[in-house]
Structure 1
């Protein structure tokens, strides 16, 4: 029997490494349940969790990423009050920081559908539908995961990065939507390893000093629930 209940945890501003380790604990717990079910021919439900968080300034490099896409030395990172981690998601380098909504769905896709391509497209669609509520026409860019504006023009710019890991249909890592993000931190990397592509944020696109993070989160969660046919439960 499938379990479409998703435990929502809003972690506030949380250290990247601490959150990464927490993700891995939840991820491993789901894997252990699946392995136990198969070994013992049991029917224990696997849990689904969605973490919503902001991080202090941090750069993360995916397992297939190129370290040369980080343009800062260790000393310069310290001066920028930023940290750096090489991690086990897909994708290249990206930045996380205050004013950015980061979401980590740790789902057993066997509770929903067993299709990683569809999973990524649903995460993108959730962001596209959210931005549409602010009057922005966001799109996918062929061959490039994430959500973009003005695709196919010289003014193409990325507003949401994505990178996931999956094992036995269990997901971790996720998406990072720039809302009120300090875009200057992206100047110190080649974002996602793609040269010549700009990044943007919701407040820049709308010409406002600050957008309500609470409001954006509410819209994202609404579309997440609809797309995944999930029932969100707050801890």
Structure 2
């Protein structure tokens, strides 16, 4: 008998709570993620979750990020800065950027971090395609680019195969905050937004398309959830 190589989600769709939020402080969202993650470590049968939101202006550094990529004095700048447990270098969040935090148990999908990163990229690529934009992957770099300009960043943390942190898609943000850092430690690649190609685009319409793309890529059925 030949053993099946299909993952559980290829034969059974998962249920996933969808939390649609507007502007939430980074610290609150971070604590929320950690709570959801720990609940799923303690009880693996819980449904997955996807949080979609925006943050006020904030800089975050991955656990091993270098301060060489920060162009200001963290202690004297007045900027809100967090060093968190995700991978990757420094990045910037602000209104107009759609941030997604999937809290999912990869034991029900595939226990492969490279696969998971590529799936997150695929979600963003599908969203861009809805608007006629071709999202590209670049060799050995995580994220999504349009015409050589980075519009989607990804940074994750996985504990006991449960994920946290996630992706950020620049829809229509003020990009000047990125001038204070070397985004993701990549000095020779510009950061851009969907609004450069689609003037007037609204984050709320992209939010809807992103949920659709996530459900398609990860084969989940959403349950709208209003609890925080």
User: Shared topology, TM-score over 0.5?
Assistant: yes
User: Shift in Å at residue 27 of structure 1?
Assistant: 0.5
Number of positions where the alignment pairs a residue of Structure 1 with one of Structure 2: 215
1:223 is aligned to 2:213: yes
Q: Which residue of 2 aligns with 1:39?
A: none
Question: Which ranges in structure 1 are unaligned for 5 or more consecutive residues?
Answer: 35-44, 151-155
Distance 1:205 1:118, change over 3 A: same
Q: Name the SS for the 1:24 alignment partner.
A: helix
Which structure 2 residues correspond to residues 139-218 of structure 1 after superposition, within 5 A? 139-150=136-147, 156-206=148-198, 208=199, 210-218=200-208
Which structure 2 residues correspond to residues 1-235 of structure 1 after superposition, within 5 A? 4-34=14-44, 45-74=45-74, 77-78=77-78, 82-150=79-147, 156-206=148-198, 208=199, 210-235=200-225
User: Shift in Å at residue 77 of structure 1?
Assistant: 3.4
Aligned counterparts of 1:5 and 1:47: Cα–Cα separation in 2: 6
User: Shift in Å at residue 113 of structure 1?
Assistant: 2.4
Does the CA contact (< 8 Å) of 2:71 and 2:180 recur in 1?
Answer: yes
Q: Which residue of 2 aligns with 1:38?
A: none
User: Shift in Å at residue 211 of structure 1?
Assistant: 1.1
Moved over 6 A (4+): none
CA RMSD of the aligned region, Å? 1.5
TM-score, with structure 2 as normaliser: 0.90
TM-score, with structure 1 as normaliser: 0.87
Does the CA contact (< 8 Å) of 2:13 and 2:221 recur in 1?
Answer: no
Aligned counterparts of 1:3 and 1:63: Cα–Cα separation in 2: 33
